[in-house]
Structure 1
Amino acid sequence: MIIKKLKLAALAFCLIGTAHAQQSAAQLSIIPKPSETIVTNGHFDLNEEVVILAESGQSRKSATVFNNFLHQLYGIRLPIATFDHGTPSIKLSISSNEETTEAYQVEVTEEGIDISGSEKGIFYGLQTTLQLISTNNGNLSIPTVSIKDEPEFAYRGIMLDVGRHFFEVAEIKKMIDLMAYFKFNKMHWHLTEDQGWRLEIKKYPKLTEVGAWRDSTIIGQYWDFDPFVYDGVKHGGFYTQEEAREIVQYAADRMITVIPEIELPGHSSAALAAHPEFGSFKMDGYEPKDGKPLTGSVMAMNEKGEPYDNDLNTTVPGFWGVQPNIYGVKEETFQFLEDVLTEVMDIFPSEYIHIGGDEAPKDHWKTSAISQDVIKKEGLEDEHELQSHFITRIEKFLNQNNRKLIGWDEILEGGLAPNATVMSWRGEKGGIAAAQMNHDVIMTPNSHMYFDHYQAEDQTTEPVAIGGFLPLEKVYSYSPRPETLTTEQQNHILGVQGNLWTEYIATNNKLEYHLFPRALALAEVAWMGKTQKDYDEFTTYRLPHRLAELEQINVFYRVPEATVSITKDPNSERHQVQITPLVKGSKVYYTVDGHKADQTATAYTSPFLAPITGPDHDNLTLRYIVVTPEGRQSNEFSTTIE
């Protein structure tokens, strides 16, 4: 059949390969790599005569998602039926009713395809099938193969911060499509922040009327200027509850649970800009001589120590960093937060609700008569135990509503809430401590899982980021279960998550630049665990196909460094240089004479012998660029030939 032209603006899938050629299991470009794969010498032809056999409602929904991907990419849809018509088919068979299991099997013969497993497993089997498709002279085919697969970790997540910069519904759906394709199952949605409140709360409309917008945003790194330099552009936005439900359902159809985060008690400036009466300011409890308290006997003060007027809105900050504002430890605030969380729970069916709990400065609590009175009344040691008291009260409310609390590892300080799950971000220390206390843990250390970090050691070659250096190989090297834990304690490690903080990520292109290809490495960390991972195999066989695929469907990934191999030529004793790009079909242009590399430089065609020395009789510097099949040019990379 004639395949229609790929639609680049569509969902994130493109299916590439060499048809009819027998491949080893290692050479199949499936990410994440399946647990067990046996390849035989044959293929199954995929065309519009093939029927998808799906008996259950969820299987038909998964088949419809599969069909949508196929149609948007190739212009075809496969009929979906509930019984065998005697034609070639993709048969979906429920072999497990366990809701938690994600295992599946794919059996491809020349006559048809059988996919079996739980409902979730069948969905993942369909994603694997999509990645198996190859093209040959306008025809689609799938190699005959037997696959048995299941994930190592139950929690495989990516966090998207929309508080610093707002992203449209369509952009989030595109990210969800990509996550589903690579078998992620949790999207942690960071919805509230100092710089913006992003979710409609019907009982408190000012949260979005005021808290969702800032007048301006700083330019450059927030430590570069004193005073800050601002762009003068109003930024903001929020999701209506209907839009949030739409995203939740869209993700659920792709086996992804959306976990909302409502930050407390810190990172609350946007909320307090709308409702300062719920804050803890420097002189909570102060009774002004000629002013009126905002709520009961509590008087909120501005940063100058002056009482706020009832009608005065504070400003949503346009600069980054840890803000001093914090919620007040008072009944009015707890009622406000319970009202907010009640509406949040009505939108998000997730068993987990994330409450943040990180970077909460306690200076205002130290000078607040109300806070100090609570410390004395509850017999608490200090403000750290006061935060634990605050979070424990919120957890009790969530537990009463059959939900579980997740917080960043700062919630360990002052004592951990009884049933809390910890996200360990300041390294692994917090996660290890929580697991040793028999609490569940999600590992997301900033050393390996912060995708807002730079991807090159030379930061001048990269777009502005928050700092740090996290290359692809370091992500791939991560093992979420610390060896210092016992086997029983390691069982509390639910999984792993990559984080996209967006202080310096304002567009969808830049979001994708930071996310890919590192998310592909994370997909294998989360699915495969430690034992099967092989970075050389990953970059040689699987990554090149998938990156070329991402480009064809208009994903703005970072073009990674090539693999450069430098060996001694046995005949001449000179250095032989081999350059292998990590995007299938790419071209490489290089120099070794000190000049910058561009597309006028020498085109790499095969391994070459380098000059004996550099232009100044010193070490050689190999400079090169990678140009992808679609014409994307990488940054200039360099390596020393000693």
Structure 2
Amino acid sequence: MMKKNVFAALATAVFMLLGCDKSQAPSTQDVQPSETKMQQAHSLTQQQLDNIAASLQVTFVLVTNQAGDKCDKNKTDGLCFEAQFQLTANEDLPAAGWSIYYSQIAPLHNFDGELFNLEHLNGDLHRLTPTEKFTGINKGESETITFRASFWTLAESDIMPNMILSSPDLAPKVIESTKTGIDSETKMEVLKHVKSYSDYQHHFQRTPSDKTQWLTAEDFYQRNKVLGEKLLDVSKVIIPTPKNIVFPEPSGVLELSPGLTVDYGNVPSESVAAALHRLTLLGVEQATKGVKVKLSIVPDQKKMIGSYTLTALNTGIRITGVDEAGVFNGLQSLASLLTVNEPRIPYVSIQDEPLFEFRGLLVDVARNFRDKNFIIKLMDQMAAYKLNKLHLHMGEDEGWRLEIPGLPELTEVSSKRCFDVTEQKCLMPQLGAGVDENNKNNGFYSVDDYTEILKAATARHIQVLPSLDMPGHSRAAIKAMTARYNKYMQLEDKAKAEQYLLHDPNDITKYSSVQFYNDNTINACQESSYAFVEKVMTEVKKIHQAAGQPLTRYHIGADETAGAWLESPVCKAFIANNDKGVTDMKQLGAYFVERVANMISDMGIEPAAWSDGLEHTNKENMPAVVQANSWGHIPWGAHHVVNKFVNQNWQVVMSTPDVTYFDFPYEADPKEHGYYWASRHTNTEKVFQFMPQNLPVHAEFWLDRQDNTFSIDDTLQKDEQGNVINRPMKKGRNVLGIQGQLWSENVRTDNVAEYKIFPRLIALAERAWYEPEWVVPYNYQGAKYSPSTNAFTAEKETLRNEKWRVFANALGQKELPKLDLARVTYRLPTAGAQIKQGKLYANSAFPGLTIEYKEKNKNWITYQRPIAVSSDVAIRTSTQEGDRKSRITKVRFQP
């Protein structure tokens, strides 16, 4: 699912970059006929098609993001951007016999000219076809196609790669010029066919009221200056910060170079093996005559799971946990004290307990697959920073990623995207997937793979929460079960064909989902839909049980699709004849969620779901325990939903997009990767600033998605009849925890995935584990907040900024080098720099990082201190080993 559910209209959700095309798109099954008509006019040979795909130069050019008169006023409130496809023929392009399929997140508004026809097919899939007026393009010549599409495109990464040249009865080919490349220095994906966005008004600013700043190296330099010019001593810093930490006087240092001799006591060795392995990677190995480490478990019902105490003195180290997770966490704190290549720690005494029970990360492997090795490597780092929940999102419109015994079609058909208009062997290539079934973004976890992930999670004290989204965002499952239906109908086994069917074949409803699909919603009225859910959950539960991590919580997703089912005969009969209390089509979404939630609850599994899918359910019809992931945008009143669910005793996990959506850019720059419907810039400092227990107070110091101020009313509110609309949280209640989200629509490589997650994940872990002194306690009486109120006082702001300075230094000097050792491709920040009176001054968001500069036609030089230069300078940051660099920015010469 994606909490990109944001599009359904600006009122309910938002532009996921792009808005909601209300027009009805044809199904991909409707693709073939028009191609057949083309064939009548001209046909290509396979060699001709291959040559054209290899030689045709396609360039995407953004004209403007400012909505003009040519935008379709009936779509997305008349908001659109204007862009061009430039086609340059390096050998003759024939007049007919071909078409180009391409992915474009923003559905088409309209286009100019009569030579080509552009059309939105389904989801993000579009098609470009020459018309009868097109006479071809001679070698060396070009044609430009101007079109408009929904909302805006503010990041170059919005544009999807792998445009596909197709002709009937021939093997389709990806147009070579639209394939991705990899930058050899940043290791990031490059979209070679996208012309750089360079104009502030037309490329960067989305509306005249958009005040977002396009920061320069000089701007970053001024921002980084608050961190100071000297490195701080971070030898005593532990991330996440312990609840209570004391460094005894006189101070001392415990040398760990001899290694560690571990006395496990009553602690099973396998429960801490992963933590000890991390210490080994950091240069502290186990040894027979090393520093003594005594481990023990002493249960304490008053302490939260994962709590521990740690003492390190000249006599050795002692770690006591309330459970196995607590001992594990204590060892991770020991590792946190270490600096790479410095095997020693200060004498210390720690009493520690997590702030939140739920400290999680969602990884969307459904849109673009990440294999088991990526997931296990990621869990190593989650455990290092004491995160304990992995929300593994494995079922979506664009892919199904988990083998389900007895339902082979789910992975045989829906784990891969290629080019099959019937979608009987694979899904059509949404999200720029191309035509290669063996592409790394295709794939699934076999039962053995998933079992391995579960066992690795258990060893790291992480609970895996599987998610296979339903009833919306379910196209992959629907298409797989359609293929199953067709297979068994051919075998004349109607009962088996219909056993797990997820759609009504006679449904003629015209709808568009929040991501522009017209066929992605499980039918809530037929029993086969619930038989499918029961079958899937039974098998997933078996896998968890066999792997030693019982399935106790499952994320339904629970997205519903407005307008689905309206013309389904099955649903009309269900409404007319049912005894379930459903009297209106609008109630079907809630009915589905309630029924599935109770079904899995009866299986001993607690339901979790997204807040929008839960809002329409009746609490009395739901199980006693419900997890609600709140993903509302803060300026649009997200606190109201949080308050509602907390007040009805549901377990709320903060999944706030403004700050926890790691698919969003770190900074507002067209070169920065990511979607941005709720935030143009979500850097590590912003995550550090988050107060998950008090959403409303952020109105005092954060801005909305266009960098304008906003206000929040968190007081008791009633309508004209005196009915309560909104109320503050009840005294003493609060949220269960916090979760980061990596949605993967345009995350096609492991490197990009890690870039988006790190180092923001470390700041998320800090906020999940530790409540600092500068937070503003929630006001249970209710209050109003804006930039003119002062709940977040100047004193609190000063303290927060001081703590950020320490945290940023710890990242630069200690934690990022540890990520280097683990071969994690974290984001290197763009360097800050200015040239003043002929001298270059440079700094970094994370003090301690290597900075490099280069004058024109000269070599890169490591920056040490202010230095004289004589021209404009290119500047970047680098890993300590120099094997990876940040994006380069330029600094203007000032004599």
Same fold? TM cut 0.5: yes
Whole-angstrom CA distance in 2 between matches of 1:48 and 1:297: 61
Check conservation: 2:260, 2:285, Cα contact below 8 A.
no
CA shift digits 1:280-299 (9 cap, x unpaired)? xxxxxxxxxxx989539999
SS in 1 for 2:664: coil
Picking from 629, 632, 652, the partner of 1:426 is 632
Structure 2 residue aligned with 1:239: 445
Structure 1 residue aligned with 2:311: 107
- Return closer, same or farther for 1:273/1:75 CA change in 2, 3 Å cut-off: same
Query: Is the counterpart of residue 325 in structure 1 residue 544 in structure 2?
Result: no
Whole-angstrom CA distance in 1 between matches of 2:368 and 2:749: 8
SS in 1 for 2:319: strand
Picking from 556, 568, 572, the partner of 1:355 is 556
Check conservation: 2:662, 2:756, Cα contact below 8 A.
yes
- Return closer, same or farther for 1:166/1:634 CA change in 2, 3 Å cut-off: same
Structure 2 residue aligned with 1:117: 321
Query: Is the counterpart of residue 480 in structure 1 residue 688 in structure 2?
Result: no
Whole-angstrom CA distance in 1 between matches of 2:469 and 2:731: 28
Picking from 844, 861, 864, the partner of 1:605 is 864
Shift of 1:508: 1.3
Whole-angstrom CA distance in 2 between matches of 1:458 and 1:336: 44
Structure 2 residue aligned with 1:56: 266
Shift of 1:562: 4.4
Structure 2 residue aligned with 1:311: none
Picking from 616, 630, 636, the partner of 2:888 is 636
Query: Is the counterpart of residue 369 in structure 1 residue 569 in structure 2?
Result: yes
Whole-angstrom CA distance in 1 between matches of 2:769 and 2:889: 31
SS in 1 for 2:817: helix
- Return closer, same or farther for 1:322/1:528 CA change in 2, 3 Å cut-off: farther
Whole-angstrom CA distance in 2 between matches of 1:170 and 1:298: 33
Check conservation: 2:853, 2:876, Cα contact below 8 A.
yes
Structure 2 residue aligned with 1:494: 736
CA shift digits 1:247-301 (9 cap, x unpaired)? 112111111000011211111111111213999xxxxxxxxxxx98953999956
One-letter amino acid matched to 1:452: D
Picking from 557, 576, 600, the partner of 2:826 is 557
Picking from 438, 445, 448, the partner of 2:656 is 445
- Return closer, same or farther for 1:142/1:603 CA change in 2, 3 Å cut-off: closer
One-letter amino acid matched to 1:333: S
CA shift digits 1:519-569 (9 cap, x unpaired)? 111111111135366322211234432112212331111101446799xx9
Structure 1 residue aligned with 2:175: none
Structure 2 residue aligned with 1:66: 275
One-letter amino acid matched to 1:178: Q
Whole-angstrom CA distance in 1 between matches of 2:316 and 2:386: 24
Whole-angstrom CA distance in 2 between matches of 1:66 and 1:229: 39
Check conservation: 2:304, 2:353, Cα contact below 8 A.
no
Query: Is the counterpart of residue 589 in structure 1 residue 792 in structure 2?
Result: no
Check conservation: 1:466, 1:503, Cα contact below 8 A.
no
SS in 1 for 2:657: coil
Shift of 1:338: 0.8
Query: Is the counterpart of residue 402 in structure 1 residue 604 in structure 2?
Result: yes
Shift of 1:453: 1.3
Shift of 1:610: 11
SS in 2 for 1:364: coil
Whole-angstrom CA distance in 2 between matches of 1:369 and 1:546: 59
Shift of 1:104: 1.3
One-letter amino acid matched to 1:538: F
One-letter amino acid matched to 2:605: R
- Return closer, same or farther for 1:372/1:90 CA change in 2, 3 Å cut-off: same
One-letter amino acid matched to 1:252: T
Whole-angstrom CA distance in 2 between matches of 1:37 and 1:297: 56
Q: How does 1:145-544 map to 2 (within 5 A)?
A: 145-215=348-418, 231-234=434-437, 235=439, 236-276=442-482, 295=498, 322=517, 324-328=519-523, 329-348=525-544, 349-358=550-559, 360-376=560-576, 377=578, 378-380=580-582, 382-417=584-619, 418-419=622-623, 420-427=626-633, 428-429=638-639, 430-459=641-670, 461-463=671-673, 468-469=679-680, 470-482=682-694, 484=714, 488=730, 491-531=733-773, 534-544=803-813
One-letter amino acid matched to 2:390: M
Percent identity at matched positions?
28
Check conservation: 2:501, 2:528, Cα contact below 8 A.
no
Structure 2 residue aligned with 1:46: 256
Alignment: residue pair count: 561
Whole-angstrom CA distance in 2 between matches of 1:103 and 1:357: 33
Q: CA RMSD in A?
A: 3.8
One-letter amino acid matched to 1:501: W
Whole-angstrom CA distance in 1 between matches of 2:233 and 2:309: 15
Q: Which moved more, 1:534-543 or 1:442-451?
A: 534-543
- Return closer, same or farther for 1:406/1:54 CA change in 2, 3 Å cut-off: same
Check conservation: 2:294, 2:319, Cα contact below 8 A.
yes
CA shift digits 1:49-82 (9 cap, x unpaired)? 6311112243x22342233234445483345xxx
Structure 1 residue aligned with 2:238: 30
Whole-angstrom CA distance in 2 between matches of 1:263 and 1:166: 15
Whole-angstrom CA distance in 1 between matches of 2:280 and 2:541: 35
- Return closer, same or farther for 1:104/1:25 CA change in 2, 3 Å cut-off: farther
- Return closer, same or farther for 1:101/1:536 CA change in 2, 3 Å cut-off: same
Q: Which moved more, 1:61-70 or 1:196-205?
A: 61-70
Check conservation: 1:51, 1:88, Cα contact below 8 A.
yes
Check conservation: 2:296, 2:321, Cα contact below 8 A.
yes
Shift of 1:241: 1.9
Picking from 70, 77, 81, the partner of 2:286 is 77
SS in 1 for 2:736: strand
- Return closer, same or farther for 1:403/1:638 CA change in 2, 3 Å cut-off: farther
- Return closer, same or farther for 1:199/1:466 CA change in 2, 3 Å cut-off: farther
Shift of 1:117: 1.9
Check conservation: 2:470, 2:557, Cα contact below 8 A.
yes
Using the size of structure 2 for normalisation, the TM-score is: 0.57
Shift of 1:95: 2.4
One-letter amino acid matched to 2:401: R
- Return closer, same or farther for 1:498/1:585 CA change in 2, 3 Å cut-off: closer
Whole-angstrom CA distance in 2 between matches of 1:638 and 1:550: 27
CA shift digits 1:276-329 (9 cap, x unpaired)? 3999xxxxxxxxxxx9895399995679969xxxxxxxxxxxx97555321122
Whole-angstrom CA distance in 1 between matches of 2:246 and 2:515: 51
One-letter amino acid matched to 1:121: G
Shift of 1:590: 6.7
Check conservation: 1:559, 1:633, Cα contact below 8 A.
yes
One-letter amino acid matched to 1:458: D
